């Protein structure tokens, strides 16, 4: 996922493990991260990975520093502002398109609206499921408070 609002590049720990990366390669990252929901998480560490963006012949290969986090997400990684700046990308959200300079001309990566909607729906479903679990655990209900409580 490309996120112009993210100040870091994020790699989710399950993807880190699927790539069979060695946890010893993670260097400490002592600063907690907070998202737009206000939640704060403590990263597992940071790692620089060689990333290839695009398809031949308009390919960019660059090392990108990722912050590894132990969270579940519908995405594999988030490319934030540091990655966007490092390869000089231009993002068009309405077109689900990213353009970037290469030695072979301008490269283009296009998003897929069906995939974007599917990811969005998965994220919303997961959030709704989490919220209902929190409500059940806290003993919350949909009952209206009695009027006598506010006298």
pLDDT digits (tens, 9 = 90+) for 68-97: 999 887 788 988 999 988 888 888 888 888
pLDDT of the residue at 46 = 96
pLDDT of the residue at 138 = 45
Residues 6+ apart with CB under 8 A from 76: 11, 12, 15
Per DSSP (E only), the strands in the chain are 10-12, 33-34, 40-41, 45-55, 58-69, 77-78, 90-92, 97-102, 105-110
Residue 142, pLDDT > 80, answer: no
pLDDT band at 151 (very low <50, low <70, confident <90, very high): very low
Render pLDDT for 18-51 as a digit per residue (tens, 0 to 9): 999 999 999 999 888 887 667 788 999 999 999 9
CA distances from 116 to 42, 81, 111 (A): 28, 20, 7
Query: Domain limits of the chain?
Result: 10-110
């Amino acid at each position: 996922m490309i996120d112009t609002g993210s100040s870091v590049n994020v790699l989710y720990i399950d993807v880190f493990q699927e790539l069979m990366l060695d946890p010893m390669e993670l260097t400490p990252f002592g600063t907690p991260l907070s998202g737009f929901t206000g939640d704060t998480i403590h990263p597992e560490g940071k790692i620089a990975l060689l990333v290839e963006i695009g398809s031949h012949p308009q390919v960019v290969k660059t090392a990108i520093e990722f912050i590894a986090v132990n969270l579940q997400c519908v995405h594999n990684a988030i490319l934030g502002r540091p990655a966007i700046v490092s390869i000089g990308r231009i993002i068009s959200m309405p077109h689900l398109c990213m353009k970037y300079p290469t030695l072979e001309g301008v490269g283009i990566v296009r998003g897929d609206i069906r995939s974007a909607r599917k990811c969005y729906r998965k994220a919303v479903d997961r959030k709704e499921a989490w919220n209902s679990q929190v409500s059940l655990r806290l003993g919350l209900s949909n009952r209206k408070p009695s009027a006598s409580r506010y006298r």
